[in-house]
């Protein structure tokens, strides 16, 4: 694998640190008056999700990580693993609970999902920003009250529970923002 020296660091670079792949979120060049330069990096550990800061000297170098974001189609879950397919190569990968994390509640079969692969293995999945999911259970709607505020919980086909307006009925398909977990509109 290639090595990057600190003065080549940039946002989005994927590197290996302490055995884990990490992504650089923010790279700051720090040069005190007459001293040597430092590179201060805000990083995310792609396995644990931890975000922290580390400072490097400009002559330090670190190994790059073979990490790729790939657009894949979600096929199915078997209760233990989540299965995805690359629509170009038809290659399939299976992700475990650690890699899926909170994304599990937004995965609908045949949706396009970004799967982060490290050495070919999924370590994270990112659902689309917006998904359309059916309501499978919610309290009966309040007729004629479409303008007023107020909300109630609704359970969606994936098991996710979101707050929805009072007029929403079981069986309706809703548009949800996966970044906030909030109801957007009827689909």
Using CB under 8 A, list all residues that contact other proteins. 7, 11, 27-38, 40, 52-60
Nearer to other proteins, 55 or 119 (CB): 55
Least distance to other proteins, CB of residue 54, Å: 4
Give the gyration radius of the chain's Cα atoms: 21
Let me know: does 64 contact 13? Beta carbons within 8 Å.
yes
Let me know: does 84 contact 73? Beta carbons within 8 Å.
yes
Least distance to other proteins, CB of residue 31, Å: 6
Token digits for 85?
């397919």
Token digits for 133?
């999911």
Least distance to other proteins, CB of residue 60, Å: 6
Least distance to other proteins, CB of residue 41, Å: 10
Nearer to other proteins, 41 or 125 (CB): 41
d(CA 55, CA 118): 24
Least distance to other proteins, CB of residue 37, Å: 7
Let me know: does 6 contact 59? Beta carbons within 8 Å.
yes
d(CA 16, CA 1): 10
Nearer to other proteins, 12 or 79 (CB): 12
Nearer to other proteins, 7 or 126 (CB): 7
Nearer to other proteins, 27 or 100 (CB): 27
């Amino acid at each position: 694998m290639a090595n990057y020296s600190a003065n080549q660091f940039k946002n989005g670079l994927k590197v290996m640190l302490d055995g884990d792949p990490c992504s650089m979120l923010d790279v700051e060049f720090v040069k005190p008056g007459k001293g040597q330069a430092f590179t201060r990096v805000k990083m995310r550990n792609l396995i644990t999700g931890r975000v922290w800061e580390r400072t490097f000297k400009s002559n330090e170098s670190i190994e790059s990580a073979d990490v790729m974001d790939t657009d894949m189609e979600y096929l199915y879950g078997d209760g233990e693993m989540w299965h995805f397919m690359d629509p170009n190569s038809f290659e399939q990968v299976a992700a475990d609970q650690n890699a899926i994390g909170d994304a599990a509640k937004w995965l609908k079969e045949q949706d396009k999902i970004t799967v982060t692969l490290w050495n070919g293995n999924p370590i994270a999945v990112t659902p689309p920003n917006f998904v359309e999911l059916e309501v499978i259970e919610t309290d009966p709607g309040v007729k004629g009250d479409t303008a007023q505020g107020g909300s109630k919980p609704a359970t969606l086909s994936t098991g996710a529970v979101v707050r929805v307006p009072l007029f929403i009925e079981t069986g309706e398909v809703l548009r949800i923002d996966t970044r906030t977990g909030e109801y957007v509109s009827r689909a």
